[in-house]
Amino acid sequence: MSEELVRGLKCRLCGKIYEKSPLNFCTDDFGPLEVVYDYEAVASTLTKASITARPHNMWRYRELLPIDGEPTVGLNVGGTPLVRADRLAKALGIAELYIKNDAVNHPTLSFKDRVVAVALSKAVEFGFRTVGCASTGNLAGSVAANAAAAGLEAYVLIPDNLEQGKVLGAMIYGAKVIAVEGNYDHVNRLCSQIAFKFGWGFVNVNLRPFYAEGSKTMGFEIAEDLGWRAPDHVVAPMAGGSLIGKLLKAFKEFETLGFIPKVSTKMFGAQATGCNPISNTVKTDALKVRPIRNPNTIAKSLAIGDPADGYFASQLIRDSGGWSEDVDDDAIVDAMKLLAETEGIFAETAGGVTLAVAQKLIAQGRIDRDGSTVLCITGNGLKTQEALIGKLGRPPVIKPNMAEFEALVGSEAGELVGA
Amino acid sequence: MPIIRIPTPLRPHTGGNDTVEAQGATVGALLADLGKQYPALHERIFDGTDLRRFVNVYVNNEDIRYLEDLETVVADKDEVSIIPAVAGG
């Protein structure tokens, strides 16, 4: 059905058009390739009514995803809650706050399931039997799980210092997990060489133009769940810098199709101070992204020193009237606690980055306290528990009797019933 | 001579070779020699005298931006890799 909806791939630098193929860069100038749609054709089948009649998963926007025919991988991905976060809003002193909670995305508890669903559906279309990725952790688990469910062989390459939960969370699915000495950028470079040489479908290398489009579904869901409007502010974590651009693209596509009013969303990008190449570019108004040689942060899922989309992310942030900030590890942990204590949401370290940066931007006056704000939580805290060891104390231990309990909490603490 | 690894999609410009040898004491000199051998490759990698925005160059395992960029010295056994920057994340 959607075969004719995707025109091809287009170089973001020179505009050269390529046929749909597993290729991520322009062979004339190395520019990134992006999927081009025929929006008139999309509009002929995709309407607000057709969307709302479909199941609550990411494929309800399938005409705006670059697959031909039916999706085959990740059929239940997406449809995560947009939580109205009044208790957190009160703590932050702002009026209207929402959490887009991809910490509970299916099946691997991060937004990466969205991109992987598209990339692996595309891998199947292209006829790949072996797929792979370079990952900071969440992608590893997502590729491993979704490849297992699709019967594809998976090679997952990760830096050798990842959290245990992320390593085990990839190995359990039977993927070939390989830890590479060095940081993410070393892993990524190696994967760039492997993908083409071995002729495998690496989701974030040769399948990247398709893969990245999956992130738009987070934006589509936000706009739909807000009652068909884009928020005034979005705060999103940045690693490679792709997600924040795809969120804005999603809003703009809905605007193009007439589903929502004109978009004037300010985009705010969040990074850790220990790996802040994009926020640094925004804050210094630089034209080039200066890579970070040795990232050092507990937010390992964001530890990409040489972000592929850093240039475009910094441009769109400035163009949208937004801003970018970074926060240190203590602020990250404090924000993880605040989110958990006010909204009952246990985000991974990257979620702490997003919230802590939002706090900073509110204090700076860059986020308007009266506007609507969406925080994008992209991963689950259960996978990054190492970051909290020693930060929460230990539970007191008592004997199983009332005396010890009352001694601990005080005998007057209870709200007596039936007295 | 140092060898240069060519991204697979650009091999049509090097007669199908995935590695080529070139001469030069620095990365810049090496890539200039590569460009003389394969002019179609040169214009794809360079924008004037600068590397294009989305071209990364490594000497062995290190990005030349953390070394001396195009002035980075290369030795006989070094391996220089041209890597598209648009990957990952």
Q: Report the C-alpha gap between B87 and A26 in whole angstroms.
A: 12
What the block records as the tokens of A390 is 């020693």
Task: Among B61, B84, B88, select the one facing A134 at the smallest CB separation.
Answer: B88
**Mean pLDDT across B4-11:** 95
Q: Which residues of B touch chain A, with CB atoms under 8 Å apart?
A: 5, 7-10, 18, 44-45, 47, 52-56, 58, 61, 63, 65-66, 81, 83-89
Q: Return the number of CB contacts < 8 Å for A and B.
A: 92
d(CA A185, nearest CA chain B) in Å: 8
Task: Among A193, A293, A308, select the one facing B89 at the smallest CB separation.
Answer: A308
Q: For position A411, what pLDDT does the model report?
A: 81
Locate the DSSP E strands across A91-232.
96-101, 130-134, 153-159, 176-180, 201-202
Q: For position A2, what pLDDT does the model report?
A: 45
Per residue in A360-398, pLDDT (tens digit) is 999 999 999 999 999 999 999 999 999 999 999 999 999
* Domains, chain B, with CATH or none: 3-84 (3.10.20.30)
Q: For position A412, what pLDDT does the model report?
A: 81
Q: Are A400 and A393 in contact (CB under 8 A)?
A: no
Q: Report the C-alpha gap between A373 and A137 in whole angstroms.
A: 27
Per residue in B21-77, pLDDT (tens digit) is 999 999 999 999 999 999 999 999 999 999 999 999 999 989 999 999 999 999 999
**Mean pLDDT across A147-151:** 98
Q: Indicate if the pLDDT at residue A1 is higher than 60.
A: no
* Domains, chain A, with CATH or none: 2-76+112-211 (3.40.50.1100), 82-108+215-388 (3.40.50.1100)
Per residue in A178-236, pLDDT (tens digit) is 999 999 999 999 999 999 999 999 999 999 999 999 999 999 999 999 999 999 999 99
Rounded to the nearest integer, the mean pLDDT of chain A is 96
Give the ranges where A199-276 is alpha helix by DSSP (H).
208-213, 216-225, 242-256
**Tokens 């929006």 label which residue?**
A39
- Partner B, chain A 378-397, Cβ-Cβ below 8 Å: none
Q: For position A416, what pLDDT does the model report?
A: 67
CB–CB contact A291 B45 (8 Å): no
What the block records as the tokens of A218 is 């987070």
What's the complex ipTM? 0.97
CB–CB contact A204 B18 (8 Å): no
A271: left (phi over 0), alpha (psi -120 to 50) or beta: beta
Q: Report the C-alpha gap between A295 and B32 in whole angstroms.
A: 32
Band of residue A82 on the pLDDT scale cut at 50, 70, 90: very high
Name the 3-class secondary structure at A13: coil
Q: Report the C-alpha gap between A9 and A77 in whole angstroms.
A: 25
Per residue in A261-291, pLDDT (tens digit) is 999 999 999 999 999 999 999 999 999 999 9
Q: Report the C-alpha gap between A408 and A400 in whole angstroms.
A: 12
Closest CA to A235 of A380, A372, A64: A372
Q: Report the C-alpha gap between A107 and A315 in whole angstroms.
A: 33
**What is the CB neighbour count within 10 angstroms for residue A301?**
30
Tell me how far CA of residue A134 lies from CA of A160, A190, A276, A413, B32, in angstroms: 12, 9, 20, 52, 31
Chain B residues whose CB is inside 8 A of the A29 CB are: 44, 47, 52, 54
Q: Indicate if the pLDDT at residue A134 is higher than 90.
A: yes
B35: enclosing H helix or E strand: helix B27-37
What the block records as the tokens of A353 is 């980055």
Q: Indicate if the pLDDT at residue B11 is higher than 80.
A: yes
CB–CB contact B81 A189 (8 Å): yes
Q: In chain A, which residue's Cα lies nearest the Cα of B17?
A: A197
- Partner B, chain A 106-145, Cβ-Cβ below 8 Å: 134
Which amino acid is located at A184 in the chain? Y
Per residue in A309-337, pLDDT (tens digit) is 999 999 999 999 999 999 999 999 999 99
CB–CB contact A306 B63 (8 Å): yes
